[in-house]
Structure 1
């Protein structure tokens, strides 16, 4: 006597479909994870390509800091330049190449970024960065300097001018942080770094396309972003500990918390800004100009958040006039 199997119930079909779907999604997720998996790289792995002479590593209160100290070493008032979030001293290379012909030029990777990497305390507050700049100056026997900075570096520069005005001869602010602002657009990497749920993924994976998109986001003309530039930003991000440090830094943001101090700045100040800055809007340049008596503001209508990197020739021309 033959029997026929009972028809598959509708509920079982639904469960089977869900199981297949979950398996497919999980498989795609694993594939994506494998393709974007990017473990940390040690400083020694990165040094050969990214720390060629005149790079050196200087002990600043127990932290080995990646520094370039170039040009006229007897310069009584060197030019000290500070990069922004997720950047490195390489952002100043074009400026340094020209400035060092007449000045001593000091650039560094801030703690938490570049080849310097994390500090011992996981403290990336502005107060800590301001003290770091003074400690670095002490280590390099610099009593007084022209201090310039971009974005986060700009905020550190003016905070140093407020905290230690006797050590700052002149001030150069480039798309500087300091006032509250509402971005028109935020680089994808910064967005993810602010999301606690993404912390594990961010510290183990790094899609090349995300780095490229983030760099293009801060340029006024994204077509100027080269493959070599993206490779550099990616390498600096992969430095062991930097991704964790970025997440911690994002939690310690205090945007505009000290803006009442800006009016205390009295030294000659040059304000440079990209008219296409989508991260810190050009309106903030006007605020700096209004609050710093005697300051000079130059707006570069076609440039973005990192004008010194996007067009070093035109931006440096303004700096040279200011320094003369």
Structure 2
């Protein structure tokens, strides 16, 4: 059903197992599943709003709030694990009657895209991994700060500045909006339960076995900001080595916000890749 609201972060809702998933469904064409990152106060809309608008003329864009994020409603006491998120994605595709989709995963969402491709390869067409988690790497200062966020406008401002290369994108209004999103009832409680210190273990928990990634047959595009302080460029280099049918596009003067800092170029690159002959 469609929720009538002036809040653009709230889209439609659909039951996915025990989880009531909030999602956005725009455009027509080949379906594309979009999986957001794991920053505090994040939602599918906050992560993908520019991409949805740019690609909806050529594709059916589906962006969901993962359990514990945005406006998706999860059962009280639910543990947020890779297995829970993977099942939510499968249930989401089943609920919409979609057998196979392109998948775009951002950061944390990159690991979840890999999880879907590994566990259910028949459900995935092509894959785009942007600043992706999913392979072993040493916890960065930036990711430790993101996952260790304690709510305040000042802390949110500091985290947003870690994300962006172009500091002019960050202002008091954006920091306040994201801070307010991070303190909605239940959101910070869920977020703080996901990645408690010491946080290297969660990087490791989101990483997949090398043999499983090497077995991925799907045509895959990695996209990364050269100046990313959250997820190092080396992760995409590893994925380029491990996934045989893959390519890598690196944006200079770009942090962890490729889809925002280089929105038009990002969308052209993704669109061209998805339209290529399989």
Structure 2 residue 67 is matched with structure 1 residue 122: no
Paired position in structure 1 for 2:43: 88
Residue 101 of structure 2 is aligned with which of 140, 145, 150? 145
Q: Shift of residue 208 of structure 1?
A: 0.6
Paired position in structure 2 for 1:243: 188
Report Cα offsets for 1:234-292 as digits up to 9, x if no partner.
23212221111112210472526423221121111010001011111111111000000
Report the CA distance shift for 1:188/1:236 in structure 2 as closer, same or farther (over 3 A): farther
Under a length normalisation based on structure 1, what TM-score does the superposition of the two structures give?
0.75
Between 1:182-191 and 1:227-236, the stretch displaced more is 182-191
Structure 2 residue 179 is matched with structure 1 residue 221: no
2:152–2:179 CA contact under 8 A, matched in 1: no
Q: Where does structure 1 lack aligned partners over 5 or more consecutive residues?
A: 1-43, 194-201
Paired position in structure 1 for 2:23: 67
2:106–2:132 CA contact under 8 A, matched in 1: yes
Report the CA distance shift for 1:254/1:181 in structure 2 as closer, same or farther (over 3 A): closer
Paired position in structure 1 for 2:31: 78
Paired position in structure 2 for 1:258: 208
Count of matched residue positions in the alignment of Structure 1 and Structure 2: 263
Report the CA distance shift for 1:265/1:300 in structure 2 as closer, same or farther (over 3 A): same
Distance in 2 of aligned mates of 1:59 and 1:117: 10
Report the CA distance shift for 1:301/1:95 in structure 2 as closer, same or farther (over 3 A): same
Partner SS for 1:78: strand
Tell me the C-alpha RMSD between the 2 structures: 2.1
Report Cα offsets for 1:129-168 as digits up to 9, x if no partner.
1111111111111111000110100100011001000000
Q: Shift of residue 184 of structure 1?
A: 4.3
Q: Shift of residue 230 of structure 1?
A: 2.4
Partner SS for 1:246: helix
Residue 285 of structure 1 is aligned with which of 211, 221, 236? 236
2:133–2:207 CA contact under 8 A, matched in 1: no
Report the CA distance shift for 1:118/1:189 in structure 2 as closer, same or farther (over 3 A): farther
Q: Shift of residue 65 of structure 1?
A: 1.6
Report Cα offsets for 1:184-228 as digits up to 9, x if no partner.
4326753535xxxxxxxx4xxx32111111111111222222444
1:117–1:239 CA contact under 8 A, matched in 2: no
Distance in 2 of aligned mates of 1:311 and 1:113: 25
Larger radius of gyration: 1
Paired position in structure 1 for 2:91: 135
Paired position in structure 1 for 2:132: 176
Partner SS for 2:266: helix
Paired position in structure 2 for 1:49: 7
Structure 2 residue 255 is matched with structure 1 residue 304: yes
Structure 2 residue 157 is matched with structure 1 residue 212: yes
Report the CA distance shift for 1:222/1:139 in structure 2 as closer, same or farther (over 3 A): same
Moved segments of 4+, more than 6 Å? none
